[in-house]
């Protein structure tokens, strides 16, 4: 049975690889010729709906998460509406990434309806000690690089490569065009030395703060459950003295973008005090993330 399951898994991986290997290049090239961004969103919606029809187990998982966020039953009509909308918004985020990644970054900047807390970002940059922009898998965080580029800033982003090589090649191409320097990590760990060097040179480093790949994270309450969050960004802040700036990017129902930069969070002191400050900083970051998801569950 195990051999059969592994065989099925390999076969499914080949099928997914073929699908994503052709789908994302089509999005990429089509984005050059779309006369309307909205047309790309319409195509993304159709693909998202088809995917959910073909893979009902993913819909079940998303329904469970959405129910946890909203406090409603998984079979509640509003839960299903939000779950399906979340998948559509995710597909639209890819379209927007390709669309704006091939255009003047000022076009993306013009679509930002609000830039909240930019003074926090500017203050952190002005310190000259570098800064860690801590974001999350919410909204369209890839467009953050375009926003920073339009403001004359360059960011080095730590990321885990996508398991589909075709997707990752296009993503890296779009990042580089947006002025983002990618720093890939694998599942075996990542040396902090390059990041320490960058921060001590006064550079910006972008990191995801919501997925604990190392499995040694710090558990904090998140939507009524104890959830582990990575401690790496916080340890890096302690080593370098660089502030952590919570940074979230999301879209509204009209397709307009919003950016929100939180007050800088810092980690000081010896080992005991440092751990307390890490936990306090994490709780503040997670509270911001939870508030964002509550206000915009489709993101």
Q: What is the pLDDT of residue 31?
A: 65
Q: Name the pTM for this structure.
A: 0.85
> Between vectors from CA 185 to CA 132 and to CA 187, what angle results, nearest 5°?
120
Q: What is the pLDDT of residue 200?
A: 93
Q: What is the pLDDT of residue 80?
A: 96
Beta carbons of 105 and 143 less than 8 angstroms apart: no
Q: What is the pLDDT of residue 288?
A: 95
Q: What is the pLDDT of residue 32?
A: 64
Q: What is the pLDDT of residue 183?
A: 80
Determine the Cα–Cα distance for residues 282 and 233; give it in Å rounded to an integer.
Answer: 10
Of 144, 89, 97, 95, nearest to 121 (Cα)? Answer: 144
Crossing angle between the packed helical segments 77-101 and 37-54, to the nearest 10 degrees: 130
Q: Which regions of the chain are under pLDDT 50?
A: 1-8
Of 150, 134, 125, nearest to 202 (Cα)? Answer: 125
């Amino acid at each position: 049975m195990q051999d059969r399951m592994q065989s099925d898994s390999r076969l499914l991986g080949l099928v997914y690889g073929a699908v994503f290997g052709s789908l994302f290049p089509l999005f990429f090239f089509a984005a050059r010729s779309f006369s309307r961004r909205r047309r790309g969103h319409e195509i993304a919606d159709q693909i998202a709906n088809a995917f959910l029809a073909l893979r009902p187990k993913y819909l079940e998982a998303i329904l469970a998460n959405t129910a946890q966020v909203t406090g409603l039953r998984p079979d509640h009509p509003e839960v299903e509406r939000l779950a399906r909308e979340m998948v559509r918004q995710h597909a639209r985020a890819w379209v927007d990434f390709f669309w704006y990644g091939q255009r003047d970054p000022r076009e993306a900047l013009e679509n930002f309806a609000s830039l909240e807390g930019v003074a926090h970002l500017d203050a952190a940059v002005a310190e000259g000690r570098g800064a860690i922009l801590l974001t999350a898998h919410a909204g369209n965080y890839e467009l953050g690089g375009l926003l920073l580029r339009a403001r004359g800033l360059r960011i080095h982003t730590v990321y885990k490569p996508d398991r589909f090589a075709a997707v990752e090649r296009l993503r890296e191409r779009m990042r580089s065009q947006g002025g983002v320097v990618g720093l890939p990590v694998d599942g075996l760990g990542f040396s902090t030395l390059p990041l320490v060097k960058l921060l001590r040179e006064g550079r910006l480093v972008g990191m995801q703060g919501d997925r604990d790949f190392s499995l040694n994270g710090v558990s904090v309450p998140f939507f009524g459950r104890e959830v582990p969050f990575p401690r790496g960004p916080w340890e890096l802040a302690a080593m370098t003295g660089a502030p952590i700036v919570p940074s979230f990017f999301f879209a509204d129902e009209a397709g307009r973008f919003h950016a929100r930069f939180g007050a800088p969070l810092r980690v000081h002191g010896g080992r005991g005090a440092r751990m307390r400050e890490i936990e306090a900083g994490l709780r503040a970051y997670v509270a911001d993330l939870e508030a964002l998801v509550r206000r915009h569950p489709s993101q």
